[in-house]
Amino acid sequence: MTLTREIMTPNAQCIGENDALSIAAERMSELDVGALPICGEDGRLKGMLTDRDIVVKAVATGLDPDTTNAGRFAAGKPVTAQSDTDIEQVLELMKEHQIRRVPVIEDHRLVGIISQADIARHLEVAATGRTVEEISR
């Protein structure tokens, strides 16, 4: 059994719910990532912000990325996994919710993130292929 903590990318960086989208875009560029967890003032996960959210839901609809905050895109309860969750359960979550990344939580705090890239680096080729296929439907 492989646990989430064994293959996650640790120390995921958040964007604050009150930070501007332009700050989020800069951070994504610096980190070379396509998504960031959105964390509240209380340090708890509020949602996920993707580069697509910034472009399609904000810029393309006329929102100003310098004045629009990330928290605006923290809709609904984020899909998460515990650090001690079996990775097979995380793969099922990704398939079920059609998501490419899952924040990893420990004691109500963000400790990492599981992405398709983490899966590709650590799991068998067949498992990776099935997961990507299911997520991409």
- If one counts the domains in the chain, the total is 1
pLDDT tens profile 2-34: 899 999 999 888 999 999 999 999 999 999 999
What distance in Å separates the CA atoms of residue 88 and residue 36, rounded to the nearest whole number? 23
Percent of the chain clearing pLDDT 90 (strictly above):
66
Which residues contact residue 34 at a Cβ distance below 8 angstroms, ignoring those fewer than 6 apart? Answer: 28, 50, 51, 52
Domain harbouring 128, CATH code: 3.10.580.10
pLDDT 10s digits, 93-137: 999 998 989 999 998 889 999 998 898 888 887 777 777 777 777
Maximum mean pLDDT: which of 14-28, 40-54, 72-86 = 14-28
Q: pLDDT at position 133, please?
A: 78
**pLDDT confidence tier of residue 48, bands split at 50, 70 and 90:** very high
Spatial contact of 4 and 83, defined as CB atoms under 8 Å apart: yes
The answer on pLDDT for 75 being more than 80 is no
In terms of Cβ atoms closer than 10 Å to its own Cβ (0-12, 13-18, 19+), residue 74 is: buried
More confident residue, 75 or 65: 65
Measured from the Cβ of residue 121, the count of other Cβ atoms closer than 10 Å reads 11
Residue 13 domain boundaries:
4-135
